[in-house]
């Protein structure tokens, strides 16, 4: 009974029966142990392949690393060579600059020392020159002590007489009622170009043999105050040197203020004597008088006629107080000696050409 149904089943499923027939005897006979062995064999093969792949990748990476290292080493060597070359050039340039800077510093030190000493030497020379000019002006002023200047007489008025001295002798006697001999040695117009018609006439300079006669005429003229010749007003004054005239001219702005304020003043030679309510004060220069008037509240303009020597001395003194200090002082003596020698030679050449 049991065999019949089996046949019936095989007849009903022919495909299954065929497949069963197609299986090899080995497959149909595999055991679990054999299957595990086959699987393990497959894993071992895969593992070997992975190991081979790892070895190949290591080899490739090592080769790539060696190439990169070699390339970087070559590049670094080349870069180092370029840097060394540039550093060598920079070192050479720095050395050259150091030499130039040292030379410049040396010259600057010498120039500073020379300038410092030259400044002092110039101040000394200018002070000496001022003393000499003062003495020379004093000598010139003394040589003019017997001279008198007369301002305002028309040109050609003296043409009717044999000489200017004869004309002035006659006119002074008549004007001041003098009977004694005036002892005029010389008289002439100021040594300037003859003015055109209508312009201010040149002054007349009169040289008296005796100083007291000149002082007498000047005193009479100041006492009379208003003196005329024809329609012109005549003025008398001392015959000052050019330097003294410039010094007196510097007081012009001060005089304007004093006249405006009604303050009495006098100008003996190159000084000014002001009679303040608190007392009389004498000033030695226009700058001194200007400063004092400003301190007293008066608005006085600058004179603008300071002597060149004093101005230069002030500039040199202000230049002497420089903000920098000398870097070295050992060479100042030598530089000062050279400065004095050059200035002395220049001074001698100036005297020879003068």
**Both tokens assigned to 306:** 């300071």
pLDDT at 166 over 90: yes
Q: What is the pLDDT of residue 343?
A: 62
- C-alpha–C-alpha distance, residues 249 and 243, integer Å: 10
pLDDT tier at 21 (50, 70, 90 boundaries)? very low
Phi (first) and psi of residue 201, to 5 degrees: -70, 155
- 3-state SS class at 148: strand
Neighbours of 339 (CB within 10 A): 21
- C-alpha–C-alpha distance, residues 24 and 315, integer Å: 130
Indicate the helix (H) or strand (E) that contains 141: helix 32-143
More confidently predicted of 303 and 11: 303
Report the top-level CATH class of 145-239: alpha beta
Residue found by looking up tokens 């010139």 in the block: 140
> What is the mean pLDDT of the segment spanning 115-139?
87
- C-alpha–C-alpha distance, residues 208 and 214, integer Å: 6
Q: What is the pLDDT of residue 349?
A: 62
Residue found by looking up tokens 């110039």 in the block: 122
pLDDT tens-digit series, residues 69-111:
999 999 998 898 889 899 889 988 888 888 899 889 888 888 8
> What is the mean pLDDT of the segment spanning 269-283?
90
CB 234 within 8 A of CB 152: yes
| Extents of the domains making up the chain | 145-239
Q: What is the pLDDT of residue 338?
A: 65
CB 292 within 8 A of CB 281: yes
> What is the mean pLDDT of the segment spanning 175-185?
90
pLDDT tier at 235 (50, 70, 90 boundaries)? very high
Phi (first) and psi of residue 195, to 5 degrees: -75, 160
- C-alpha–C-alpha distance, residues 186 and 15, integer Å: 175
CB 6 within 8 A of CB 17: no
- C-alpha–C-alpha distance, residues 329 and 325, integer Å: 10
228-248: buried (b, 16+ CB within 10 Å) or exposed (e) per residue?
Answer: eeeeeebebebbbbebbeebb
Phi (first) and psi of residue 179, to 5 degrees: -105, -20
Q: State how far the alpha carbon of 178 is from the alpha carbons of 12, 172, 216, in Å.
A: 192, 8, 10
- 3-state SS class at 309: helix
Length of the chain in terms of residues written:
354
Q: What is the pLDDT of residue 40?
A: 82
- Residue closest to 218 by CA, chosen among 116, 274, 148, 268: 148
Residue found by looking up tokens 């303050």 in the block: 263
Q: What is the pLDDT of residue 170?
A: 92
pLDDT tier at 236 (50, 70, 90 boundaries)? very high
Q: Where do runs of H (alpha helix) occur along 225-282?
A: 242-249, 252-261
């Amino acid at each position: 009974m049991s065999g019949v149904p089996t046949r019936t089943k095989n007849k009903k499923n022919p495909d299954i029966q065929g497949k069963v027939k197609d299986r090899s005897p080995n497959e149909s006979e595999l055991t679990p142990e054999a299957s595990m062995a086959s699987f393990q064999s497959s894993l071992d093969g895969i593992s070997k392949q992975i190991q081979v792949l790892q070895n190949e990748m290591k080899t490739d990476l090592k080769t790539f690393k060696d190439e990169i290292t070699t390339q970087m080493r070559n590049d670094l060597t080349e870069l180092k060579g370029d840097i060394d070359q540039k550093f060598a050039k920079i070192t050479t340039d720095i050395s050259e600059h150091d030499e130039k800077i040292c030379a410049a510093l040396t010259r600057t030190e010498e120039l500073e020392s020379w300038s410092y000493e030259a400044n002092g030497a110039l101040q000394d020379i200018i002070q000496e020159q001022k003393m000499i000019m003062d003495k020379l002006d004093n000598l010139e002023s003394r040589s003019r002590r017997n001279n008198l200047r007369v301002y305002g007489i028309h040109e050609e008025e003296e043409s009717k007489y044999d000489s200017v001295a004869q004309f002035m002798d006659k006119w002074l006697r008549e004007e001041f009622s003098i009977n004694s001999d005036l002892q005029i040695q010389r008289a002439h117009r100021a040594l300037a170009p003859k003015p055109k018609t209508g312009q201010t006439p040149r002054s007349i300079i009169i040289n008296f043999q005796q100083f007291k006669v000149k002082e007498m005429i000047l005193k009479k003229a100041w006492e009379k105050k208003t003196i005329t010749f024809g329609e012109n007003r005549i003025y008398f004054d001392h015959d000052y040197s050019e330097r003294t005239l410039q010094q007196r001219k510097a007081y012009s702005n001060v005089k304007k203020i004093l006249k405006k304020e009604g303050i009495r003043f006098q100008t003996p030679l190159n000084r000014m004597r002001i009679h303040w309510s608190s007392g009389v004060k004498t000033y030695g220069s226009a700058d001194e008088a200007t400063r004092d008037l400003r301190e007293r509240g008066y608005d006085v303009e600058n004179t603008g006629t300071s002597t060149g020597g004093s101005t230069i001395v002030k500039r040199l003194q202000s230049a002497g107080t420089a903000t920098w200090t000398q870097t070295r002082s050992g060479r100042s003596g030598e530089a000062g000696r050279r400065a004095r020698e050059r200035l002395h030679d220049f001074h001698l050449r100036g005297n020879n050409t003068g």
